[in-house]
A and B are shown apart, each in its own frame.
Chain A
Amino acid sequence: MNNQMFAATQLNQKNQRTEKLVQLLFILMASLLILPVLVILATLVVKGGSILSIDFLFTDPTNGMTEGGIFPALLGTIWLVAVALIISVPLGIAAAIYLSEYAPDNWFTRLINLAIINLAGVPSIVHALFGLGAFVVFFGFGTSILSASLTLAIMTLPVVIVSTREALQAVPHSFREACWNMGATRWQTIRRVVLPNAVSGILTGIILEVSRTAGETAPIMFTGAVFFSPFLPQGIMDQTMAMSLHLFVVSTQVPGVPENLPYGVALVLIGMVLLMNSVSIAFRMHLRGKKKW
């Protein structure tokens, strides 16, 4: 009698079976989402791995881009990312400080948030149109690293703002109150207490932005990046090649490219991006473990 009372009824058994089935279904879905990507990465490594070498990274493309390395594209991407960061990081951090430390909870702040969401949601090709219309034509910067980086900076600004704001808001309010009680001004509090405690979180966001910026193609196509340039960029008013556009060019625009060349370019690009993201993730986990409050 007692045993029967706690034994699974038929309904229980049915429920348990369904439970197992449903769980299996979800595991299947999750793995079906992840699996193709692992297969794709493996294919890239297998097909592009053979061309990778130090020479590939540090020599110029030769013979109508069908041979040689990717150095100008790699250097161009570094230029583009660096200039974009110089523009967007101070601006993004200022915006995040305003939103986290100063902004009242009113319609205007909601408007700013809406603008940030839309800045992130506008198609990259529309950013490209804007960059062309504004920086290349209207301000007369021409197709240059400056125009392309400005376009990239505006496009990736939301990444910096959102991650910095999160890092700032993670600093407990009591820290600020303690500082204010000592007679410090708002800015002294932010500079001496809030920012030092949030700096690693901000850094995580910046690394993430580097990864985003390096992979973008459409915004730089008409604003500063070119298919091929015989010269390395000397300054921000020069045009440049870029990794992402180079991948597009060697895989669609150039005839007679050996098969492993575009795979190699794709591998380097995706390697750069995933490395950045992994660093950012590792950094974040390390932080979470270290947090003092």
Chain B
Amino acid sequence: MLAPSNLSSGCDQAFDQRNLDWYIDKAVQVVVFMGGISAIIFIVGIFLFITKEGMGFLIDTLDLQEFFGSPYWEPSDEDAPEYGILALMAGTASVTGLAMLIAIPFSLGTAIYIAEFATGKTREWLKILVELLAAIPSVVWGFIGLTIMNPLIIELFDVPVGLTVLNAGIILGLMAAPIMTSIAEDALKAVPDRYREAAEAMGATRWQVVFKTVLPAAKNGLLGAILLGVGRGFGETMAVLMATGHAVNIPGSVFDSVRALTATIAAELGETAVGSDHYQVLFTIGIFLFLITFLINLTADLIVRGIRKS
């Protein structure tokens, strides 16, 4: 029993669909779009706010030549504060460099093993372990550097201090390796099977397939993985704060204590007055860190996207 009036209004709706559902649909579209652009708003917001806090100092007081060229970091000196981040950059670079020396072979090796050699249960378990490895918080890694690695290094190498480039480098290497492993594994998986089949059909053995065919084909993805690892190491804070020894120093060997850019902010921001020169110079370091990591991530993304297209 369908009344004609009902039928006709149904027809009207079919032709003009601006009923409640239509409006809800439009409203939702706006809401999810806001969600979508929130990421852009936040990244721009981050840049604007750290620039706002650090820019005045950057323009008025800071001598860029001193900032990048001087190894003296004495921002709390009341008479003649020094704002040189050369030693801090050297600290960050040495720790990140050593970390990459450790993380690159291990993460690429593990990725190749997972993607090309391991099968079944071994593969599943390895992937799970790598994922759990990536989940360990950085403050726990710092704690490990402080309490387990420190005495170990002192004993093994017979050195007076164990909180050094070596300590933080190993810790950071172990931290960066899992992420690099999973991205590298994705890159290897993205190489089409027909490449492997073609090589195998030519009589190549497994490792020949991997070295001569798969690795060259996945080159860009692997490079992207390494770059993201560098970005990770560069930006890591708590672990390097706790494991480097936190001494302003241009390292001469891996047994020297250093101080990283990130760790400097973490250690000193709490004791500065909002708006003071010291407070502002820490934000200036923040701007520098933001720009560097932005550049690294952008490059990595472009490289990785490059392989997806081709």
Contacts and interface: CB of A to CB of B under 8 A. Distances in A.
Decide whether A and B are members of one complex: yes
Interface of A: 15-16, 18-19, 22-23, 25-27, 29-30, 32-34, 36-37, 40, 43, 90-99, 101-103, 111-112, 114-119, 121-130, 132-134, 137-138, 154, 157-158, 161, 185-188, 190, 211-212, 214-218, 221-222, 244-245, 247-248, 251-252, 262-263, 266, 269-270, 273-274, 276-278, 281
Q: Is the interface of A mostly helix, strand, loop or mixed?
A: helix
Contacts of B213: none
A130 B48 CA distance: 9
10 contacts: A15-B205, A18-B207, A30-B126, A91-B35, A94-B36, A118-B43, A127-B46, A214-B137, A248-B238, A266-B140
Contact of A128 (B28, B32, B112, B266): B266
Given A18-B205, A19-B207, A115 B34 contact: no
Nearest to B242: A252
A251 B228 CA distance: 30
B257 interface: no
Given A95-B38, A187-B25, A217-B137, A30 B114 contact: yes
A264 to B, nearest CB: 11
Contacts of B210: 22
Interface in B29-88: 29, 31-40, 42-43, 45-46, 49-50, 52-53
A117 to B, nearest CB: 5
A111 B40 contact: yes
B277 interface: no
A216 B24 CA distance: 38
A129 B53 contact: yes
B128 interface: yes
Nearest to A27: B113
Please tell me the size bucket of the interface on B: 35 or more
Contacts of A216: 137
B50 A121 contact: no
Considering residues A93, A97, A123, A245, which has the most beta carbons from chain B within 10 angstroms of its beta carbon? A123
B24 A129 contact: no
B131 A217 contact: no
A117 B21 contact: no
Given A18-B205, A125-B237, A114 B298 contact: yes
Considering residues B35, B37, B131, B132, which has the most beta carbons from chain A within 10 angstroms of its beta carbon? B35
B49 A134 contact: yes
A122 B137 contact: no
Considering residues B22, B205, B270, which has the most beta carbons from chain A within 10 angstroms of its beta carbon? B205
Contacts of A119: 39, 42-43
Given A130-B46, A187-B24, A277-B131, 17 more contacts: A19-B205, A25-B109, A30-B110, A34-B133, A112-B37, A112-B40, A115-B42, A119-B42, A121-B294, A124-B236, A126-B46, A126-B293, A128-B265, A129-B282, A215-B137, A215-B139, A269-B137
A186 B32 CA distance: 12
Contacts of B110: 26, 29-30, 33
Given A119-B43, A129-B53, A252 B265 contact: no
Given A122-B46, A124-B235, A188-B21, A98 B40 contact: no
Interface string B15-29: 000000110110011
B186 interface: no
Q: Is the interface of B mostly helix, strand, loop or mixed?
A: helix
Contacts of B231: 121
Nearest to B126: A30
Contacts of A278: 132
Contact of A270 (B140, B207, B301): B140
A137 B40 contact: no
A101 B25 CA distance: 13
Contacts of B126: 30, 34
A282 B298 CA distance: 33
Contacts of B266: 125, 128, 218, 221
A154 B35 contact: no
B222 interface: no
A273 B113 contact: no
Contacts of B130: 33-34
A248 B139 CA distance: 7
B132 A121 contact: no
B9 to A, nearest CB: 15
A4 B63 CA distance: 79
B238 A211 contact: no
Nearest to A40: B144
Contact of A33 (B29, B144, B177, B286): B177
Contacts of A34: 126, 129-130, 133
B136 A221 contact: no
A118 B297 contact: yes
Given A112-B40, A185-B25, A248-B242, A123 B289 contact: yes
